[in-house]
Chain A
């Protein structure tokens, strides 16, 4: 890739803290950037997948011969054609590559075909004869524990019983207690670029897979196991990724493509349509959460109790880690001396759930923030004051017993956000009212509400996971080439990597090598807000190693102390001014370093959910102002304000983009987005029926503050910033709608009927 220069920039290369241009920016605005769905090969075939129409069924028989008889069909494969492991999985290997005797969710892959045209492939799918024997699906997560197991591994994927502090702390009669049950619906990541890829067989029995993913190496390991091939014969290259948000952490079409390519000896391309994409990746876990908070009459939290039930759907995916996050952060960023949380994630015949931005903390933030507002009301206390009074600080203990060793400016984000002046005005424009032009609210009836919410989560992987990223830096003729397998999914790591290399080495030109599995070790997943820290840290370390080596060589050659040498703007100069050497000339012979970067080790949770399980944390606050039309139950989010704990801003525009984009997904979950599942079937698998915010739905986002408290151990002090914006935004919008309407609204997304019919069924239980 080449350096893209925009605006007034001249000769100086990318540096930390600047709005450096994206190296993929020009191709992306000219249409030349190759996304995974843009791959083409002259000899390629088209792959397609036969999926179960039933959420639960036995397969009595399967006849592929009518499909094979169709002219232009080159292969039809079933579970019998999987040479290696019949199952795959991120944490538990429990999901069939292709279902054999039984299917456990609607849309589960059963067979794959390769044909000369997408239409031929579709006709082939229709020609496959399956003897479906539907069974009663297990769709209520509350019944999963007692129901017959629907999978050999059982119906409880993970249970965590967290106990912290004196468990009898609330056994006194001078406390104020509030209780509620809350629900979060199933959200879809709804990335714009559907699953797609191409597998190309080679002459030695191996295969090259070009695919959009979040984590190349863990894909490679799973694909190789299913193909029964050694790792070196399965080579993955990152194809252009059209967004991810967690939905590309699991395998989708990876093994299918490779099976078809190896069987036909031809390149095979597969692209899901939007409907198939809804069935083809995991979603955010729906949650049902009971909470009870106890506080002194002064507003000091004494004890929080909760029971969390997450529906994992048919297969485990990353459910174990999601329930750990939900449990660990269930009480919110507050100092709570006594905590008891039971977190359970179960298996059902619903669509599988796994990673989505916020990863378990979104669900519990919605609940704990509703509880804090409820508690403030019971105490007759200002809700912001209640939050500030209980805000966690560095040095405090979390519910897991872990002491916060790094930065965590909880009070700072709350104060900045709540105290920021609002620019929100009323509008006479019908388009700006709830419902917009189509169902314009009666302006006289519109009510306005306002609320603040705060949320936090861990950065990077937890519970003792050996989390690392590898990077190589080669400095040659003054040009730095960085090799790292970090998946760019839109977030802008490609920009940061160049900035970090430019900053450390003082060079103008930084080139990024292709992202693939053969040239470098794993970078880990582009998830958990971890790549700035992990792969950014790896790039920093590799470049610093090269820098040290260069300076040591110059020091030895010229008899100057290393401490008197600086590397700036493509030159090494001495502080005394008597030495001025060009990096270009100094690196006629290449200087290189390869490193593996690890964060500080973490520990597993013990039987009481206690342990130093997390590396670092980030907190954000949102204030939402909404207009509500109580007649039609419509909501217009008028303004969002945020403050976020970022450690240090490495790229102001990209940081803003993360804050705005994350907030949009939070707004979506609050008032629009739900994968509607009835008796195991998705009823709205399209962008016609699954609505994500448009430019008319999104309010302006006011950034009250980016709190820059450098985090020890992080590159340049920078924390990951991708997830917090989607955590506290949903809770803030929902609370603002409560403020406007006076309704309890214990469930998101808030539907029109929840407002105009008074509330939904959960309310009675909450009030009772």
Chain B
């Protein structure tokens, strides 16, 4: 196997060195297996399910399709950067309140997608929401509680924005 020169990634505002990577490793693999950030999930490894969604310079991407080295010099935000216990983001809180979490495997990717959607559009209509999360597969919920969570998060974000 060919190892690559060390490189560093900016993840959730912190610089992280990747020293022992093998050529061809995806951003998802490096996050999960080399940097201990296992919140991004691997459910298809071909960009179909959205479970590995992270934000790269603000855009949502499937981290399984991004070569790890290609993310160097760009801002990576993962689920671990969205909010933590005791300091949940509005979207995370909304998923809990709405009952949108079952097995939870799709949840991190969906949270990243919804967070990005609400950054772009604070009052998305139903079809806009459905389209925005249609790249994120969920097998447990049938999406009903997730759509409710998006409504709750949008309302919370608006309430926050209007003093």
Contact = CB atoms under 8 A, between A and B. Distances in A.
A678 interface: no
A19 B99 contact: yes
Interface string A369-396: 0000000000000000000000000000
A117 B93 CA distance: 37
Interface string B118-136: 0000000001011101111
B129 A30 contact: no
Interface stretch (A33-41, A257-265, A300-308): A33-41
A749 interface: no
A661 B88 contact: no
A694 B88 CA distance: 26
B105 A661 contact: no
A25 B96 contact: yes
A357 to B, nearest CB: 10
Interface centre among A117, A661, A663, A693 (most CB of B within 10 A): A661
Contact of A6 (B80, B93, B136): B93
Contacts of B32: 38
Contact of B1 (A30, A120, A189, A695): A120
B143 A660 contact: yes
B96 A193 contact: no
A280 B67 CA distance: 28
Nearest to A189: B139
B85 A30 contact: yes
B39 A695 contact: no
B144 A687 contact: no
Nearest to B49: A687
Contacts of B147: 695
Interface centre among B45, B79, B101, B145 (most CB of A within 10 A): B101
B104 A245 contact: no
Contacts of B9: none
A696 B130 contact: yes
Contacts of A695: 129-131, 133-134, 136, 143, 146-147
A491 interface: yes
B51 A192 contact: yes
A30 B137 contact: no
A9 B92 CA distance: 18
B48 A492 contact: no
A32 B130 CA distance: 26
Interface string B78-89: 111011110010
Nearest to B133: A695
A243 B140 contact: yes
B63 interface: no
B116 interface: no
A499 B96 CA distance: 17
Nearest to A123: B1
A660 B142 contact: yes
B48 A22 contact: no
A55 to B, nearest CB: 24
Contacts of B1: 72, 117, 119-120
Contact of B38 (A38, A273, A490): A38
Given A193-B43, A242-B43, A695-B134, A490 B97 contact: no
A654 interface: yes
Given A28-B101, A117-B22, A686 B36 contact: no
A34 B38 contact: yes
Interface in A190-215: 190-194
Contacts of B145: 653, 656-657, 660
A473 to B, nearest CB: 26
Contact of B95 (A29, A240, A274, A660): A29
B22 A688 contact: no
A31 B63 CA distance: 15
Contact of A696 (B95, B134, B142): B134
B60 interface: no
A431 B147 CA distance: 17
Nearest to B147: A695
A191 B139 CA distance: 6
Interface in A645-691: 653-654, 656-657, 660-665, 686-688
Nearest to B125: A429
A242 B103 contact: yes
Interface string A471-493: 00000000000000000011110
Nearest to B94: A29
B102 A30 contact: no
Contact of A243 (B48, B93, B98, B139): B139
A692 interface: yes
B103 A193 contact: yes
A272 to B, nearest CB: 10
Interface in A696-755: 696, 698, 700-701
Contact of B43 (A33, A194, A662): A194
Interface of A: 4, 6-7, 19, 21-22, 24-35, 37-38, 40, 72, 117, 119-120, 189-194, 240-245, 271, 273-274, 429, 431-432, 489-492, 653-654, 656-657, 660-665, 686-688, 692-696, 698, 700-701
30 contacts: A24-B104, A25-B101, A26-B85, A29-B83, A29-B104, A31-B37, A34-B38, A40-B38, A120-B1, A189-B139, A191-B103, A191-B139, A192-B43, A192-B105, A240-B104, A241-B103, A242-B104, A243-B102, A243-B103, A432-B127, A490-B104, A490-B140, A491-B102, A657-B102, A657-B145, A661-B141, A687-B48, A687-B49, A687-B137, A694-B134
In the complex, the 7 A-B pairs of residues with the closest C-beta atoms, listed nearest first = A31-B39, A490-B103, A653-B99, A28-B104, A664-B142, A242-B105, A660-B142
Interface of B: 1, 22, 24, 32-33, 36-46, 48-49, 51, 78-80, 82-85, 88, 92-93, 95-99, 101-108, 111, 127, 129-131, 133-147
Given A31-B38, A657-B142, A695-B147, 6 more contacts: A27-B85, A30-B82, A31-B40, A32-B39, A37-B42, A273-B45
